């Protein structure tokens, strides 16, 4: 499923806001979004929230045979998965250009920078070494995936503990965490990626672009650096020409941001270490007794629940009575009807007038029909029904004033019939 393109109005609005040094979320030009680092129940599971961008990193290990050209070094493997859960633009089971680009950049940032001592991962030279695998899953995509992935990966590696190994002759024994304490990885430094987006052919610069800003940017510069101000990798994309001064300016900004993020990671690791040493539960296990499944994402809000009913009664008593609503006087104009609570219903007046008019028209039609019938009927008409119970004779006399009723039943009808027969004879 392709991503929905931005309209021209949205694009113009974003570019105009960037020219005025304003951003959609109210940040300044060089500000990062809020970073939140949490850990799972197991070692090596890390969640990173960069604004609305959410990433999970999981580190695992296994004993494998080493490479032939490097028999004394362990193996590092990185994998980034862009699932449709993060964005509808990502497809399941298919590597896109973005995933290949992120994988290569993460490998340059962490493996090529030699931040991890791979020789310490060797168990038996030329036979058994540890393979460290880092799986990064994108849970929600709101821009700047590379920075969130690098923070999650290096934090998960610092948090990970591999099982201890014992060697007796040719036998290699892997001990469980209950038998021996797991061993952390030896990490020399923590390289972190910082992304810069350029607009209007490099005229305007933003740090940590969001998803909408990435759509309208002209170029992207990613600098991976550690807190010692050593550049581990640098990559430019987008096809714009950057000057030397612009790159130096970005590197200075990156050094400040990297030192802040490194301090945040070290604090998160120390807090998790203290919590585990105190015997407290972490990650998903912490949320079960509290019936709070979203413990990794939501913050706690302290609420005082003492004397709630008394306070509520005081507030109700002190509150002013609501003003009575008086319907606004609306003068109905002819041809306009109003219906509603507190309003005069003018539809009934019009209906009565229409009913009077229709009644007069019906009376006129009836009188015309009667006149036509009287003209067509020259003499008396006698109708005799075929019913066996009684005979009905309908008479139309010449003088209606003398006989007000036209229908006669029973013996009167029979008498009238006999008199007419005698007259004919």
Query: Which range, of 14-23, 72-81, 177-186, 320-329, averages the lowest pLDDT?
Result: 320-329
Number of domains in the chain: 1
Q: With respect to residue 410, please indicate whether it lies within any of the assigned structural domains.
A: no
Higher pLDDT, 357 or 280: 280
- pLDDT tens-digit readout, 214-263: 889 989 999 999 999 999 999 988 878 888 899 999 999 999 999 999 99
Q: With respect to residue 358, please indicate whether it lies within any of the assigned structural domains.
A: no
pLDDT of residue 270: 92
Exposure string over 377-396, b if 16+ CB within 10 A, otherwise e? eeeeeeeeeeeeeeeebebe
Query: Which range, of 129-138, 241-250, 365-374, averages the lowest pLDDT?
Result: 365-374
**Is residue 247 within 8 Å of 179, Cβ to Cβ?**
no
Which DSSP helix (H) or strand (E) runs through 81? strand 75-82
d(CA 84, CA 138): 9
**Is residue 11 within 8 Å of 24, Cβ to Cβ?**
no
Q: With respect to residue 11, please indicate whether it lies within any of the assigned structural domains.
A: no
**Is residue 268 within 8 Å of 37, Cβ to Cβ?**
yes
pLDDT of residue 387: 47
Q: What is the mean pLDDT of residues 371-385?
A: 52
Q: What is the mean pLDDT of residues 386-393?
A: 52
Q: How far is CA 89 from CA 86, 139, 318, in A?
A: 9, 13, 55
Identify the band that residue 304 occupies on the pLDDT scale cut at 50, 70 and 90: low
CA atoms within 13 A on the CB side of 54: 11
Report whether pLDDT(106) > 80.
yes
**Is residue 37 within 8 Å of 55, Cβ to Cβ?**
no
Q: What is the CATH number of the domain that holds 59?
A: 3.30.230.70
Q: With respect to residue 72, please indicate whether it lies within any of the assigned structural domains.
A: yes
- With pLDDT > 70 as the criterion, what percentage of the chain qualifies? 69
d(CA 400, CA 123): 131
Report whether pLDDT(293) > 60.
no
Q: With respect to residue 193, please indicate whether it lies within any of the assigned structural domains.
A: yes
**Is residue 82 within 8 Å of 99, Cβ to Cβ?**
yes
Q: With respect to residue 208, please indicate whether it lies within any of the assigned structural domains.
A: yes
Report whether pLDDT(332) > 60.
no
Q: With respect to residue 22, please indicate whether it lies within any of the assigned structural domains.
A: no
Range of the domain at 114: 33-284
Higher pLDDT, 343 or 76: 76
Cα torsion angle, 290, 296, 297, 303, sign: positive
pLDDT of residue 177: 85
- pLDDT tens-digit readout, 36-92: 999 988 899 999 999 999 999 999 999 999 998 888 999 999 999 888 888 888 887
Q: Three-class SS string for 350-400?
A: HHHHHHHHHHHHHHHHHHHHHHHHHHHCCCCCCCECCCCCCCCEECCCCCC
d(CA 243, CA 342): 73
Higher pLDDT, 175 or 369: 175
Q: With respect to residue 116, please indicate whether it lies within any of the assigned structural domains.
A: yes
Rounded to two decimals, what is the model's pTM? 0.66
Token pair of 316 as six digits: 């109700």
**Coil vs helix vs strand at 30:** coil
d(CA 173, CA 226): 36
């Amino acid at each position: 499923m392709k991503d929905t393109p931005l309209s021209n109005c949205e694009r113009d609005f974003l570019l105009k806001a960037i020219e005025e040094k304003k951003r959609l979320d109210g940040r300044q030009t060089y500000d990062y979004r809020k970073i939140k680092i949490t850990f799972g129940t197991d070692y090596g599971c890390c969640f990173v929230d960069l604004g609305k961008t959410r990433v999970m990193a999981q580190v695992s290990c296994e004993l494998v045979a080493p490479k032939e050209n490097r028999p004394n070094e362990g193996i590092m493997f990185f994998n980034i998965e862009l699932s449709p859960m993060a964005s509808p633009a990502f497809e399941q089971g298919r590597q896109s250009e973005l995933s290949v680009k992120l994988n290569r950049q993460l490998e340059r940032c962490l493996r090529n920078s030699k931040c991890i001592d791979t020789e310490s991962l060797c168990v038996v030279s030329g036979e058994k070494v540890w393979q460290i695998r880092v799986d990064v899953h994108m849970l929600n995509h709101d821009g700047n995936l590379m920075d969130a992935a690098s923070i999650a990966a290096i934090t998960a590696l610092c948090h990970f503990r591999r099982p201890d190994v014992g060697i007796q002759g040719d036998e290699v024994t892997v001990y469980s965490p209950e038998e021996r304490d797991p061993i952390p990885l030896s990490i020399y430094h923590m390289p972190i990626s910082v992304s810069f987006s350029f607009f209007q052919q490099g005229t305007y610069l933003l740090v940590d672009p969001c998803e909408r800003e990435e759509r309208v940017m002209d170029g992207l510069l990613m600098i991976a650096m550690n807190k010692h101000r050593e550049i581990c990798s640098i990559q430019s994309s987008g096809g714009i020409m950057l000057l030397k001064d612009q790159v130096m300016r970005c590197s200075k900004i990156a050094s400040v941001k990297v030192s802040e993020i490194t301090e945040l990671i070290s604090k998160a690791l120390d807090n998790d270490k203290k919590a585990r040493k105190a015997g407290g539960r972490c990650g998903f296990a912490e949320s079960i007794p509290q019936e709070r499944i979203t413990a990794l994402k939501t913050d706690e809000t302290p609420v005082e629940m003492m004397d709630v009913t008394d306070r509520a009664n005081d507030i109700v008593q002190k509150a002013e009575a609501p003003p009575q609503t008086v319907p606004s006087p609306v003068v109905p104009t002819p041809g306009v009807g109003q219906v509603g609570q507190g309003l005069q219903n003018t539809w009934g007046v019009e209906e009565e007038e229409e009913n009077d008019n229709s009644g007069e028209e019906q009376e006129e039609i009836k009188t015309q029909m009667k006149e036509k019938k009287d003209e067509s009927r020259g003499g008396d008409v006698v109708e005799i029904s075929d019913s066996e119970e009684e005979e009905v004779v309908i008479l139309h006399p010449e003088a209606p004033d003398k006989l007000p009723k036209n229908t006669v039943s029973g013996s009167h009808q029979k008498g009238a019939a006999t008199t007419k027969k005698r007259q004919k004879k």
